[in-house]
Structure 1
Amino acid sequence: MRRHHILLPLAALLATLPLLLHGCSCGHDFGFHLQSWLDAAQQLRHGTLYPHWAWTAAYNAGEPRFIFYPPLSWMLGALLTILFPISATPAIYTWIAFTAAGFAMHHLARQYTSPNAALLAAALYMANPYMLFNAFERTAYAELLAAAWIPLLLLAVLRKRPTVQGIAIPVALLWLTNAPAAVMGCYMLALLAVVRLVAAFRASRPQLFPLLLTMSTGTVLGLALPAFYLVPAAYERRYVQIAMAIIPNMRFEDNFLFGHTADTPHNVVLHTISLLAVVLLLLTLGTVAFLLFQTQKDRSQQEPARPGTPAPYLALLTVVIAFLLVPISTPLWRYLPDLAFLQFPWRLLTILSAVLVFAIALLLPRGDSSRKPMLIAAPVCVLVLSLLGITLYRQACEATGLPSATAALFSTHHGVPPTDEYTPNEADNDILRSNDPGYWLTSNPAGFAPGTIPNPAATDPNFSGELPVEQTVSAQAPRHLVLNLAQPETLVLNLRDFPDWRLTRNGTELPAHLQRDDGLLAIALPSGLSTLDIAWRYTLDQKLGIAISACALVLLGLTFLRSRKIKD
């Protein structure tokens, strides 16, 4: 076992130390991720290996969250929730993300510099300020884990001879982890690939076609591997209010550096991240400029250059990111496909952080004399940066927001609010009541369950507070129900209507459901005996996605076999 296999997990433990000593940080997305982990863990325990429906969302009426949210982060969180106490799960997840990021940067830097410099670069990357901002202030756990795949993608596109599998694997991992990070990664890949192709065209035209074939094949294979997630997410987005993800305050035009919105707390966060972005930009510009100067100096003195001389590509990425962080770049954000769904331009700091650390690694001395200073600097930098990060970014937890309290509420039939962008079309979250029973019968298809409390948002459009916990006790709809009715009735289930649900009455599928403003599933039943069954069905798009992923996995295996034969 090589030393970095031991040192990097230990360095990640140092970065996680503030969470172990002071408890978790309840950042902006903490509750969303924790609830997803608990929901997915419960379904895993009951044998659902790949959940699609988040049952506790929308006050136990559910939502198709797991169709649209990439699975790697919430599946990892669910497994940790099963294996460890819930209070320790956020810290363990963070440690895994830091460790993965460290190994990825080490793998990138090791191709260009010494083992000691690569080790220090890995330590700097896992504890870089934006990584800590995501871990402590935003608790954007999916984006945090996705940062681990950016160095792998950089290596894949920058290496002298790119490989199909080298490109495909990080592209697939990005899409399986975090959609905004995947969009950023694919645009980074496209930009650097075009530059490399232009350079190949000018230098050696015979190399152009093999390079183009490798880049394009790797990208297509990288998109095909996660097709089991991507195809349903792309096709079924027509069934949900996905545009709610880019409402005011969440739009790119509201989140350029030092922007200002009508939301005061959001402005505080935007100011914090803007200051961080300026610092990272200045550091990166200075480091890359010095790297370009050093590369040119090495060439003029005929000294051995770093393999592949990546400095120009790092400079290009830095300039492009700086441009995209300011309002002048608005046309690009508006017209490039899916770029607007990044919501926050400063998410590009994930890539900028990788560029900065990689550039630093390229400047570090490569001689044996620097071994001891670098080995000492690595843990010191991690510890200092993590302590500074927890001081600047830690978010206090309310008693009801602690993991133990969230798990306790989860186990006692408390539902949670819906997620706007995963709400089915025609469903109004402002009307949905929070204490519905699992089902009820009514003569009025639009009627609410007796004894339930109206949603304050239904009468007060300015209501934005949280409902009292005691009002969120509701029941999930039964999956099997037998009713013997004396007269025709409307059955309303506390289950959001969605095309993937298959309802049968006495063995015959019910094709039509009644429309309700709150989006709950309503069925007109005749008098007499009705045996009702509700089941999730795998639709054609889901089956197609699984088939494409299976074929892509076989092709990936063949590329590995082929590369091994070439080496032999």
Structure 2
Amino acid sequence: MGGSLLLGWLLHPWPDTPDGLFHLHRIRALSDALRWWVLYPRWFPDFAFGYGYPVLNFYAPASYYPPALLHLLGVPLIPAARVSLALMYGLSLGLVYSLLRRTVHQEAALLGTALFAFWPYRFYDLFVRGALPEFWAFLWLPLLLYLTHPKGAHGGKRASLLTALAWSALILTHNLTAFMMGLVTWLFVLDRVHRWKDVGVPLLLAGGLSAFYILPVWGELKFVGLGTSSPAGYSRHLIPWTHVFTWTVPFSYPQAASPTIPLPGYVSLLFLGTFLLFLRRRPVRHLLPFAGVTLLLLWLQTDLSAPVWEVGAPLLGLLQFPWRWQAPLGILVAWWGSELWEAWGKWPSSSRGGVLLLLVILGYFAVGRLHPPAAEYTSQDLTPEQMWAFDAQHGQVGASWTGEFLPRWVKEQRWAIGREPAEPNPIPPDPAPEVRPLRVGYTRLLLHTQGETRTRLTFHRFYYPAWDVQVDGRAMPTEPVTNLGLLSVSLPPGEHTLLLQWRGTRFQQVGGFLSAVSWLLLLGLLMRSTPSPRERRGLWGLTFLVLGILAWRLFLPHGRWIPVHPVEGRAPGVRLVGWARPPSAARVHVRLFWLGEQAPIPRLSAFLHLEDREGRLMAQKDGPVGTPYTPPARWFAGFWVPEDRTLPLPEGGRGPYRLWAGVYSPDDPAHPFFRVEVGRSDDE
């Protein structure tokens, strides 16, 4: 509880960090997906200026769910993130203390917990970088090291199954930390061949449990920027040995763009304490794995290890930053410190005061100079429009710094995606069909189309192999068009029903099947190896949860449908063909559906007006047709563009309210080309 309160206090106000804003937008997007009854959205439709982005197809999703669920229940976005991080931090401290108590006395366990709680890299992750998922990953490290350490779990089927669960949780929280921790645990059992299976079997089963995530990451890496980036970025962050430690008190946190973060100098005291213990001819063999692995991880952060990084670049290069090894170092140092304190002998009861003093010193060392700047945004500011504006300002896309999830079919420079094209946009020559929208889902759409000749529909979303288009129940070939790599389908003459949906690639489908089988196998084996009635009741609860998720994925793989109301609003080069009211936290949220009729379209503005029962204008939102980041030169015949607009319900107005949408020329706003009703609100 104390740890949770401390972190909650430190997170107020919310720190301004390079990555924190991106993770908040992912939490918001996941919460939106859950409103559509989509449990695992691999694709966020409103990312990348509304073209969509396969974020959770590649980025581990688990850390986003607790704050997203809180936000879904009505907690504002930033407090939801703050509460979940604080609770996780406190839980990690309780977990490491309870596990250390199984191997050492109370004072030593308190010291180890303090070392883990105030490990500077944890605070660097959260308050300097804003790496929320990597901060979450620390929750699982104590359990994994305990289950691997010879003084911890003692093998057996049940221990292996629990270890597999912990590995799966870490993989789904932060896969790079899981990769590093996997190497660390193997190093711990290298000298004990009989224990290799204690690491290998759980890792294999964890791979099955998380196959729905791992397999697409491995198989589809070539589809996005991650698979084309250079793995040699680590070379800029290797440092000389003289820069490994810092003795600055309190700890001086470097900027996020600095080449590295030094280690606290007290780590060297653990080496000294172990050596002095050896000179006193006290048993140190159980401390040597900690010393050896720590020394190796320190070395991997220095320029002396450059040859190893070069040889292992295909794997090690994925880490990007050698200082990431400080994540597993955090739990190694904590456990080593507690074992070293224990090894120096039976301490008198007065040693508790010494431990508490060390706890205060470590706390001051870690947070005494921790003063991150406060974020200038609030929870209400975290909208798709704010995300797009931030991306446009910084020349980025998809709430990421390097476009790592940008599909490879996008040929436009990422900084130019939301702007007018610098060169003529290659567009499909086919005309647009007549379109009547029927229903819409989170990542699916049902349309009625008609054309006397062959026509073409191009959707305002990036092409990706997981997209599936069916016309009258038959799968149709799709292709990327324009330099934006947009999803496009050619339609035969006549009337048709078109279904667009995220079907999933073969990797996603096979991974999902392997995970379902692995979870059922794990639960069955746990039931057989758990004699305690109380624990079996808990397992039954977990079993019903897993079965419920599997049933949901089987019968509601795409979430819910909502109806689309067709309308007819025509302006030069573009038509408004329908509107819908998507599930949303906003009081007034309307999705408009536009269809391009020529290339390019003239400069046009669209409006959404809210009027009360007397016809008085109570709220409005005007802006370019589509979005400000789909400029007129990007439009062409058959371009299908959804656009979300939200309005607040005003105070003092009298419902029911009526919503009106229309289009006008910016040069003549008083004479719109059309004005159509797009819904009502019965709020009084």
1:467 alignment counterpart? none
Does the residue aligned with 1:354 lie in a helix, a strand or coil?
helix
Contact 1:443 1:489 (8 Å CA) reproduced: no
Is contact 2:446-2:499 (8 Å) kept?
A: yes
Q: Percent identity?
A: 23
Within 5 A, what are the aligned runs for 1:341-490? 341-364=318-341, 367=347, 369-370=349-350, 373=353, 376-377=356-357, 380=360, 384-385=364-365, 387-388=367-368, 390-391=370-371, 394-399=372-377, 402-407=378-383, 409=385, 417-418=397-398, 419=400, 420-430=403-413, 433-434=417-418, 444-445=427-428, 479-485=445-451, 487-490=453-456
3-state SS of paired residue (1:63): coil
| Distance in 2 (alpha carbons) for counterparts of 1:108 and 1:100 | 12
Change (3 A) 1:169 1:385: farther
Q: Residues 118-157 of structure 1 correspond to what in structure 2 (within 5 A)?
A: 118-157=109-148
Superposed, 1:518-529 pairs within 5 Å as: 518-529=484-495
How far apart in 1 are the matches of 2:299 and 2:176?
A: 18
- The 5 A counterparts of 1:157-556 are 157-160=148-151, 161-162=154-155, 163-197=159-193, 208=194, 211-243=195-227, 246=230, 251-257=233-239, 268-269=255-256, 271=258, 273-274=260-261, 276-277=262-263, 280=264, 282-294=265-277, 297=280, 299=282, 310-336=286-312, 338-364=315-341, 367=347, 369-370=349-350, 373=353, 376-377=356-357, 380=360, 384-385=364-365, 387-388=367-368, 390-391=370-371, 394-399=372-377, 402-407=378-383, 409=385, 417-418=397-398, 419=400, 420-430=403-413, 433-434=417-418, 444-445=427-428, 479-485=445-451, 487-556=453-522
Compared CA separation, residues 368 and 511, structure 1 to 2 (3 A): farther
Give the structure 2 partner of residue 87 of structure 1: 78
- TM alignment of 1:88-107, pairs within 5 A: 88-107=79-98
Query: Do 1:224 and 1:552's aligned partners in 2 also have CA atoms closer than 8 Å?
Result: yes
Distance 1:283 1:443, change over 3 A: closer
Change (3 A) 1:310 1:351: farther
CA distance change for structure 1 residues 397 and 32 in 2, over 3 Å: closer, same or farther? Answer: same
Deviation digits for residues 85-108 of structure 1 (CA, Å, limit 9, x no counterpart): 113123223213312331332144
The answer to whether structure 1 residue 63 and structure 2 residue 53 are counterparts is yes
Mapped partners of 2:231, 2:478: distance in 1: 32
- Whole-angstrom distance in 2 between the partners of 1:446 and 1:384: 67
Equivalent residue of 2:192, what SS?
helix
Name the CA shift for 1:228/1:58 in 2 (closer, same or farther; >3 Å): same
What is the aligned partner in structure 1 of residue 542 from structure 2?
none
The equivalent of 1:18 in structure 2 is: 10
SS in structure 2 of the partner of residue 182 of structure 1:
helix
Which sections of structure 2, spanning at least 5 residues, go unmatched? 244-253, 433-441, 533-684
C-alpha contact 2:236 2:259 (8 A) present in aligned 1: no
Q: For residues 415 and 61 of structure 1, do their structure 2 counterparts lie closer, same or farther at Cα, with a shift above 3 Å needed?
A: farther
- Work out which of the residue numbers 21, 31, 36 in structure 2 matches 1:41: 31
Shift of 1:347: 0.5
How far off is 1:322 after superposition? 1.6
CA distance in 1 between counterparts of 2:192 and 2:197 reads 13
Q: Offset at 1:187?
A: 1.1
**In the superposition, relative to structure 1, how do residues 530 and 371 fare at CA in structure 2: closer, same or farther (>3 Å)?**
farther
| TM-score where L is the length of structure 1 | 0.77
Q: In structure 2, give the amino acid aligned to 1:327.
A: D
Aligned partners of 2:212 and 2:511 also within 8 Å: yes
**Alignment-derived partner of residue 111 in structure 1:** 102
Task: For residue 334 of structure 1, report the CA deviation from its aligned partner.
Answer: 3.0
Task: Report the count of equivalent residues.
Answer: 492
Please state whether the residue corresponding to 2:164 is helix, strand or coil.
Answer: helix
- Structure 1 residue ranges without an equivalent (≥5): 1-8, 198-207, 261-266, 300-304, 437-441, 450-475
Contact 1:513 1:522 in 2 (8 A): yes
The alpha-carbon distance between structure 1 residues 193 and 269, as it changes in their structure 2 partners (threshold 3 A), is same
Cα 1:412–1:138, aligned 2, differ >3 Å: closer, same or farther? closer
SS at 1:532 equivalent? strand
Contact residue 112 and residue 335 of structure 2 kept, 8 A: yes
- CA deviations over 1:428-457 (Å, ceiling 9, x no partner): 352764389xxxxx993289x9xxxxxxxx
Residue 17 of structure 2: which of 27, 42, 46 is its match? 27
Q: Distance in 2 between matches of 1:294 and 1:516?
A: 69
Q: 1:477 to 1:135 in 2, by over 3 A?
A: closer
Q: Is the 8 A contact 2:164 2:202 kept in 1?
A: yes
Q: Secondary structure at the match of 2:427?
A: coil
Distance in 1 separating the partners of 2:304 and 2:240: 14
1:114 CA drift (Å): 1.6
Query: Conserved in 1, the CA contact under 8 Å of 2:443 and 2:501?
Result: no
Q: Which residue identity is paired with 2:89?
A: F
Letter in 2 for 1:352: L
Q: Distance in 2 between matches of 1:483 and 1:42?
A: 29
- Bigger RCO (CA 8 Å, 6+ sep): 1
Cα distance in structure 1, aligned partners of 2:32 and 2:111: 40
Which protein has the larger Cα radius of gyration, Structure 1 or Structure 2? Answer: 2
AA aligned to 1:297 is: R
Match of 2:267, SS state, is helix
Contact 2:239 2:301 in 1 (8 A): yes
Q: What do residues 146-179 of structure 1 show as CA deviations (whole Å, max 9, x unaligned)?
A: 1222222222221243442354233222211112
